[in-house]
Homo-oligomer: A and B are copies of this chain.
Amino acid sequence: MQSDMKTPLLAGSSSDASKPLPRCPGGPVIGIIGSGDFSRSLAIRLVACGFRVVVGSRDPHRIPRGMFPDGVELRSQREAVDGAERVVFVAVYPEHYYTLVGLRELLAGKVLVDVSNATRLNSGEQSHAERLAELFPESRVVKGFNVISAWALQAGAYDGSRQVLVCSDCSHSKALVLQLARCLGFSPVDLGGLCGSRDIEEAPLILFPSWGGPILAVFLLFLFFYGYSFVRHILLPYLDRGENNFHQLPLVTVNETLPAVALVTLALVYLPGLVAAVLQLGRGTKYKRFPGWLDRWLCRRKQLGLLSFLCTLLHAVYSMCLTLRRAAGYTLLNAAYQQVKAGVEKSWVESQVWRSDLYLSCGILGFGVLSLLAVTSLPSVGNTLSWREFTFVQSGLGYVALTLSIMHTLFFGWDFAFFPGAYPYYLPPVYLLALILPCVVLVGRLLLALPCLTSRLAKIRRGWESERHRPPQ
C-alpha cells in the first residue's frame, strides 16, 4: 500500500505538515496574549481541533470561571508566552502593543500572529503588523486571522468555506500559520510579504465590495425615472393647470418608477453578454481579453439580477396594495355615482377587460420565473446545479422572464401610446422609455440566434480563430 502510492505526484508534496490534527489531548501548545472575545473564541476553536492552549491575561484571576473552555490554561502574559511551544497569537488591541515590550526576550524566535483590524480605510499609516515587527525584531510576525470574526471562530463551520488571508516576511513561519489555519478548518490564502498586511487589515472594513456599482446604477435609474415621472405627472400639471397630484408622491409615483427600474436593470443583466458576443464575433477570436469595464460588468450580473428582482418584488407588493388605498375607494365611489347619474346599467369594455387580465397574467408569470432565478442564486441551491442546469436557469429562464416583462409592459401600454394624449408636454410615458433598452437586448439576442451567427460564435468559443488572427504557419 505504502509503496503503491510513493509516486512522483506525491514525492514532492507529501509532508506531515498538512495532516489535520486529532482532537485529543497531547497536541502542541499555542499561546494567546489577551483575554477578550477574540481570544476566547480562538481558544475554543483551537481546543476543539486538538491543540492545547495557554491564554495570557494581565490579570488572570479576574476572568470569570467558565469563560474559557476546559483545557485552556489561564496564566499571566509572561507565563503564557513561556508555555507556548512556538506560535503566540497577539489578541491585544494595537494601541496596547507597547505594553508587551517587556516580553521581548521571551518572544524571540517565536511566531507572533497579529490578528488586528484597521480602524479606517486608506489611512496610509504603517500596518499594525509592521509596527509589531518593529517592536519585536527577533520574533517572526505573521499577519492573519483578522478577517475571521469571533463568532465564526466559535460557531462557524470547519469545512474550509471561510478564507483566512495570511502574509509574512518569514516563509517558514507563514507556512506554519497557513497550516494551522487549515487545521482549524479554514481556507488559508497566502498574500506574500508583510508589506501586504495593511490591505489585510483593511479588508474587513469594506462592506459588500461587489454590490457598490450595481446599487449605484439602480439608484441612479430610480432617481431618473422618479424625477421624470414627478415632472410629467405632478410638477407640470400643477404649474400648468394648478392640478394638485402631490398625493401621488409616496406610492403611485414610486410604483410607476419601480417597474421601469426593474425592467431596465434586467436588460442590463443580459446586455454585457451580448456585447461580449458581438466583440468576439467582430474580433474573430476569443483569445483577446475584454476591456476592463466589460469584465467588471460581466462579474456584476448576479447582483444586478437580484436588485432587479427586489424592484420587481416591491412593485408586485405595491400593486397588490393599490386597491387598499383610500384614493382607490374614492375613485370607485365617484365612478359609481357617475354611472348611476348617467343611468348606464352595465358598464363593460371588453378590450379593457382583456388588457388588464393579459398584463396581470404576464406580470405574475414573469414574477414567478424571476423568483425561480432568485432561488437558484442562493449559494446552497446553486451548488446543487450542474453548469448546464445553471446556464439553462440563468440564461434560458432569464430571457423568458425578460420577454414576459416586456409583454407585461406592452399589454399595460395597449394602444394608448398611439394617441396624442399620451404625450402631455411632449413627454412620452415612463413605460415607453423603460422599454427601449429591454427591446434592444431582446432583438440583439434574436439576431445572435440566427444560424450563421450562432455557428460562427460557437466555433470561436471552441477556439477557432479568423484568418487574420492565426499565427503564420
Contacts and interface: CB of A to CB of B under 8 A. Distances in A.
Number of copies of this kind of chain in the complex: 3
Interface in A134-158: 147-152, 156-158
20 contacts: A4-B15, A5-B175, A11-B28, A13-B50, A23-B188, A24-B178, A93-B462, A149-B387, A157-B161, A247-B350, A317-B367, A319-B321, A322-B324, A326-B355, A332-B333, A336-B336, A337-B340, A337-B345, A379-B384, A380-B380
B151 A87 contact: no
A316 interface: yes
Contacts of A386: 147, 149, 203-204
A15 B7 contact: no
Given A8-B86, A14-B16, A254 B361 contact: yes
Contacts of A189: 48
Given A21-B13, A93-B462, A158 B160 contact: yes
Contacts of A187: 158
Interface stretch (A61-69, A230-238, A275-283, A443-451): A61-69
**Which 8 pairs between the two chains have the least Cβ-Cβ distance?**
A149-B387, A380-B380, A5-B17, A326-B356, A336-B336, A159-B159, A251-B357, A379-B380
A53 B383 CA distance: 27
A387 B160 contact: no
Contact of A332 (B15, B85, B329): B329
Nearest to A372: B310
A390 interface: yes
A176 interface: yes
A148 B387 CA distance: 7
Contacts of A252: 357
A185 B325 CA distance: 55
A170 interface: no
Contact of A178 (B23, B62, B325, B327): B23
Given A18-B19, A334-B347, A250 B357 contact: yes
Given A10-B16, A330-B347, A67 B22 contact: no
Interface in A86-105: 86-87, 93, 95-96
Interface in A168-214: 172, 175-176, 178-180, 182, 185, 187-190, 203-205, 207-208
Nearest to A59: B471
A12 B26 contact: yes
Given A187-B158, A207-B388, A345-B334, A13 B36 contact: no
B330 A204 contact: no
A410 interface: no
A293 interface: no
A386 B163 CA distance: 10
A157 B383 contact: yes
B5 A28 contact: no
